[in-house]
């Protein structure tokens, strides 16, 4: 029973880490990556759709993203969506493709991004702690209902705490790596 709780909670923990990686991937760190556009939604015949589902997104150079819409009519919609996004990038269209030049980050902007990274990491830790709380409540309920002994409950909680500690360490490692990437000149 405890193992079921631990494994289902571990799944949720993994999802938290995956979400954090996606968040970090969408933060601009001075070099071009297709994941920068993951949160940019385009109006595709009345439906908000991610850019990568209406166009080919590639990185021909370290500081450039090339967007080639599959339908020429989408060119203007993609440009509008990029302008509205929080990326702070100006699309440059030649009628068939859009080029996004990624400017060098200023020191001030780097510091802002580091704060954002810290905030996202802290949110991930809070999510992990909430999962731990839910798992511990589950285990305590099993003990209260006399389905497991007090010792089994304690061992289960300790085992899960070690797993949680590992996930917190992973968040810290991801945060440090992203901060280092942002602060590179």
Element (H, E) at 157: helix 150-183
Neighbours of 171 (CB within 10 A): 20
pLDDT at 111 over 80: yes
pLDDT at 185 over 70: no
For the chain, domains (ranges, CATH) are 32-99 (3.30.1360.40), 105-182 (1.10.132.20)
**How far is 170 from 151, CA to CA, in rounded Å?**
29
Element (H, E) at 84: helix 74-84
Q: Identify the pLDDT of residue 29.
A: 65
DSSP assignment, residue 29?
-
Q: Which of 73-77, 98-102, 107-111 has the lowest mean pLDDT?
A: 107-111
C-alpha closest to that of 115 among 31, 26, 21, 179: 179
pLDDT at 25 over 80: no
C-alpha closest to that of 18 among 132, 114, 127, 119: 127
CA distance from start to end of the chain: 51
pLDDT at 31 over 60: yes
Q: Which of 19-28, 47-56, 75-84, 147-156 has the lowest mean pLDDT?
A: 19-28
């Amino acid at each position: 029973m405890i193992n079921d709780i631990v494994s289902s909670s571990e799944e949720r923990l993994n999802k938290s880490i995956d979400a954090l990686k996606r968040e970090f991937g969408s933060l601009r760190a001075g070099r071009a990556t297709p994941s920068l556009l993951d949160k940019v939604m385009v109006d595709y015949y009345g439906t908000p759709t991610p850019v990568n589902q209406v166009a080919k997104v590639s990185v021909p150079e370290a500081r450039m993203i090339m967007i080639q819409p599959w339908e020429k009519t989408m060119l203007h919609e993609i440009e509008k969506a990029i302008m509205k996004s929080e990326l702070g990038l100006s699309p440059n269209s030649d009628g068939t493709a859009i080029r996004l030049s990624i400017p060098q980050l200023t020191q001030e902007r780097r510091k802002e991004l580091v704060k954002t990274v810290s905030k996202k990491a802290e949110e991930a830790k809070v999510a992990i702690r909430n999962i731990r709380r839910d798992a511990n409540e589950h285990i305590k309920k099993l003990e209260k209902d006399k389905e497991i002994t007090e010792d089994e409950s304690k061992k289960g909680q300790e085992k899960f705490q070690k797993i949680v500690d590992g996930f917190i360490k992973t968040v810290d490692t991801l945060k440090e790596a992203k901060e280092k990437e942002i602060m590179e000149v």
